[in-house]
Amino acid sequence: MLSVTNSFMKKLLLYVLIVSTTLVVIAQKNPCNPQGLPYIKVPGDTTVTLQSGTTLTFNRCEFFDLRDCMEIIEINDSADLRREGLNMYDKEGNILVTCGMIKIDFNKCGKKCLDVPVKIRVKVRFPDCSGVTDEIPALYFNDGTGWEKPKNTPARLTGSANDRYLELETRCGVFINCDIPKKGRKIKFIAPKGNKIKELRLGINCPLYYYDEKPIEPQRKVKVKMLCTASERVMVQSVQISSSDNVTGTPSTKLSELKHGNRRVNCKEPKFFGKLFGWLSPSKGNFRKKYYLPD
C-alpha cells in the first residue's frame, strides 16, 4: 500500500512540475494571456520610439505576438529610397522634400492589417540644408504607385514650432512620408556618341531626394525634373548600352563634376517680365541646361 502511495505521489509531483513549466512557457510566450479574447478587448499598449523621435503605439498583446515578424523602417537617405523602390515625386509630378519617412509592414506576419489601429506620431524634422523648417508639412502615403495625400486617413499637426508632430492612426502596412512640395526644373543628360541611356539615377541626401529614370527604349538624351539645390550635392549614375549592345555602368559622380553646356537653369520661378525678356541677359542658376555623361 505504501509503495502504491509513493508511486502516486511521484506521478502527482511530476504532473505538477510539467503543468508549472508549461504555464511558465505560456506566460513567456504571451504575457497578456488573452485566452481567446480579441486584441481590442485586451487593455494596455506598447510604444516604440524610433531614432528620429517618431513614436508608434500598438496594442500590447498584438505587438508582442507580431514583433518578430513586423517591419518598422525609417528611410533616411537615397540608398534607403532605392532599396525600397521609392522616388520623391507625388502623383501630380511635384517634387517632395521629406521631413520624415517610415515603412510599416506586416506581410511577413501573414497579414496586411492589424486588428487594433497603431497610433503614429511622426516627428517633423527637416535637414538644415532644405530651408523649409518653418513651412507646414503634409502627410503622404505610397501604395506602390506614387506619393499622394490620404483622403480617408487625416493627420493633425500638434506640438510647438520647434517640436512638431503629425499624428494619425492606421491599421494596415504603409509607407508614410511627411513632406512639402517644392519647385524643380528639367535638365537634360546626354550619353556619349554611340551610347544610349538605359537607366539614370539621381540622388541627394540633404535634402533627401532620389529619382530613377528607366526609358521604355534606351535613349541618348533624357530629361529629368531636378530638385532645386546645389549641384555639388547631386550624385549621378547611369547604365548605358552601346551600339554593339554592350551594357556598362558609370560610377556615381557629382553633378558639378560632369561636363556641361554653357546655358544655366534658374530654379526660381521667373516673373512675367523675366520670362518675356530673359533672353536679353544671361540667366543665373545652380544647374546647367545640359550635362554630358561619361561612358
Determine the topology of domain 183-292 in CATH.
Immunoglobulin-like (2.60.40)
Average confidence (pLDDT) over 85-102 = 86
Residues 6+ apart with CB under 8 A from 188: 221, 222, 223, 289, 290, 291
- pLDDT tens for residues 30-65? 556 656 667 766 777 889 998 888 999 998 888 888
Where does the pLDDT of residue 285 fall: very low under 50, low under 70, confident under 90, or very high at 90 and above? low
**pLDDT at residue 269, rounded to an integer:** 55
CB-CB contact of 178 with 98 (8 Å): yes
Q: Tell me the CATH number for domain 39-181.
A: 2.60.220
Given a cut of 60, whether residue 249 has pLDDT beyond it is yes
- pLDDT tens for residues 138-157? 888 887 778 888 777 667 88
Q: Which residues pair with 170 in a beta bridge?
A: 118
**pLDDT at residue 21, rounded to an integer:** 38
**pLDDT at residue 41, rounded to an integer:** 67
**pLDDT at residue 35, rounded to an integer:** 61
Strand pairing class (208-213; 195-205) = antiparallel
Same CATH topology for 39-181 and 183-292: the answer is no
Give the residue among 175, 187, 214 at the shortest CA–CA distance from 86: 175
Q: What is the DSSP letter of 131?
A: -
Considering the chain, what percentage of its residues have pLDDT values greater than 90? 16
Domains of the chain, residue spans = 39-181, 183-292
**pLDDT at residue 92, rounded to an integer:** 83
